[in-house]
C-alpha cells in the first residue's frame, strides 16, 4: 500500500505555537521533491509534547495541504489505547490513508497486551494501521510472532520497523501475507532493509534531503543497487549526523540550513543540538551537496 521515501515530518514551532505557515511550505516542498507519502505527528513531529487538539490540527493541516497529491499516514500512537483510538478516529474522519501506531510505551505491556492494544483499535475503526516498532524508545518490542498474528487482522497492513534488527525483515516476510508492507524506520539501514524485502522508509533524513531519499528508494525499487549504494554513500553521513544529539534537534537545525528562515524551536524537554552535533550536520549536508 505504501512504498518509497516517506518523511516523518517535523512540527515547526514559532514562539511556542505550531507554525502552520512553515508546515504547509514544508509539505509542498516534500511533494515537489518526490516524497511518496507523509507522516505528520510522529516521533520526529514531537507528538509526545502536543496536546490532543494540536496533534489533530497537525494531521488536519497536513491532509488539507497535501490535497490528495500523496497519501497521509497519520501518527496515532499513544500508551493509552482509548486515546490512540481517538487519534485513529480523527484521522479517518479527516481523510488520512492510514494510521501509524507505535507500540504502547512506558506501561511495558507483555506481548498479549500489545496484541490486545492493536486488536482493540481494529475493532473500533477500519482505517488501515501501520505498526511502529521502536524498542529503543518504547522499551516494549513487538516480537515477530506478534507481528505475524497482527498481520492476520484485516486492517493491519504493514510495519515501520525501527528495531535495528535486519533479520526481522525476513522473519516478517516469511510469516506475514505477501502484501504486508515493510518500511524501515532507521535511515542508515534502509539499503540492507530493502535488499531483504523492504519497500521503503519512514525517514528522518527525508525531511531535509527529500529528492536524494526519493531517488535512493526508486533505485532500490528498480533493483539498481549500484546507484542505490552511490546515493546511500552520499546520504550515510547525514543519517548519522541527524542522531548525533537528541532528535529532532539536529534535523530542525539541518532544515534551517537548507530552508532559509525555517524555525529550529523545540519543546521541552528537547533542547537545541550541541555545537559538535551542529558541526557534524553541516559537514554531512555539504557531503550530500545540500549546502555549499
How many C-beta neighbours within 10 Å does residue 198 have?
Answer: 25
- Within 8 A by CB and 6+ apart from 237, the residues are 280, 283, 284, 287, 288
Question: CA–CA separation, 186 vs 41, rounded Å?
Answer: 18
Q: State the catalytic residue, choosing from 92, 160, 234, 252.
A: 160
Query: Sheet of 4-7: strands edge to edge?
Result: 4-7, 200-203, 181-184, 156-161, 129-133, 98-102, 73-75
Q: Which three cell numbers stand for residue 264?
A: 529550529
> Are 277 and 249 in contact, with CB atoms under 8 Å apart?
yes
Q: What b/e sequence results for 40-65 when a residue is b if at least 16 CB atoms lie within 10 Å of its CB, and e otherwise? A: bbbbbbbbeebeeebbbbbbbbbbeb
Distances (CA, A) of 285 to 54, 168, 208: 31, 31, 9
Question: CA–CA separation, 161 vs 170, rounded Å?
Answer: 12
> Are 123 and 86 in contact, with CB atoms under 8 Å apart?
no
Q: State the catalytic residue, choosing from 115, 132, 236, 253.
A: 132
Question: CA–CA separation, 24 vs 67, rounded Å?
Answer: 11
| Helix or strand run (H / E) with residue 101 | strand 98-102
> Are 13 and 207 in contact, with CB atoms under 8 Å apart?
no
> Are 239 and 32 in contact, with CB atoms under 8 Å apart?
no
| Gyration radius (Cα) of the chain, Å | 18
115 is catalytic: no
- Catalytic residue numbers read 132, 160
Amino acid at each position: 500500500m505504501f512504498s518509497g521515501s516517506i518523511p516523518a515530518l517535523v512540527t515547526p514551532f514559532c514562539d511556542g505555537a505550531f507554525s502552520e505557515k512553515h508546515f504547509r511550505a514544508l509539505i509542498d516542498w516534500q511533494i515537489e521533491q518526490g516524497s511518496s507519502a507523509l507522516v505528520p505527528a510522529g516521533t520526529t513531529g514531537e507528538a509526545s509534547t502536543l496536546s490532543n487538539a494540536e496533534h489533530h490540527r497537525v494531521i488536519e493541516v497536513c491532509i488539507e495541504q497535501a490535497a490528495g497529491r500523496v497519501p497521509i499516514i497519520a501518527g496515532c500512537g499513544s500508551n493509552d489505547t482509548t486515546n490512540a483510538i481517538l487519534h485513529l478516529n480523527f484521522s479517518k474522519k479527516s481523510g488520512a490513508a492510514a494510521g501509524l501506531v507505535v507500540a504502547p510505551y512506558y506501561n511495558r505491556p507483555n506481548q498479549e497486551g500489545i496484541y490486545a492494544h492493536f486488536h482493540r483499535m481494529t475493532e473500533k475503526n477500519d482505517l488501515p494501521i501501520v505498526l511502529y516498532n521502536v524498542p529503543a524508545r518504547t522499551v516494549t518490542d513487538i516480537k515477530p510472532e506478534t507481528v505475524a498474528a497482527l498481520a492476520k487482522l484485516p486492517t493491519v497492513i504493514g510495519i515501520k520497523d525501527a528495531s535495528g534488527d535486519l533479520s526481522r525483515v525476513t522473519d516478517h516476510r516469511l510469516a506475514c501475507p505477501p502484501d504486508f508492507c515493510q518500511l524501515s524506520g532507521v535511515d542508515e539501514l534502509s539499503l540492507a532493509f530493502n535488499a531483504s524485502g523492504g519497500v521503503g522508509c519512514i525517514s528522518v533524513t527525508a525531511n531535509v534531503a527529500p529528492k536524494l531519499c526519493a531517488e535512493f528508494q526508486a533505485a532500490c525499487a528498480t533493483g539498481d543497487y549500484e546507484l542505490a549504494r552511490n546515493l546511500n554513500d552520499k546520504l550515510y553521513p547525514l543519517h548519522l549526523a541527524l542522531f548525533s544529539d537528541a532528535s529532532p534537534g539536529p534535523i530542525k537545525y539541518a532544515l534551517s540550513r537548507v530552508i532559509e528562515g525555517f524555525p529550529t524551536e523545540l519543546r521541552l524537554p528537547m533542547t537545541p543540538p550541541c555545537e559538535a552535533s551542529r558541526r557534524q550536520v553541516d559537514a554531512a549536508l555539504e557531503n550530500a551537496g545540500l549546502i555549499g
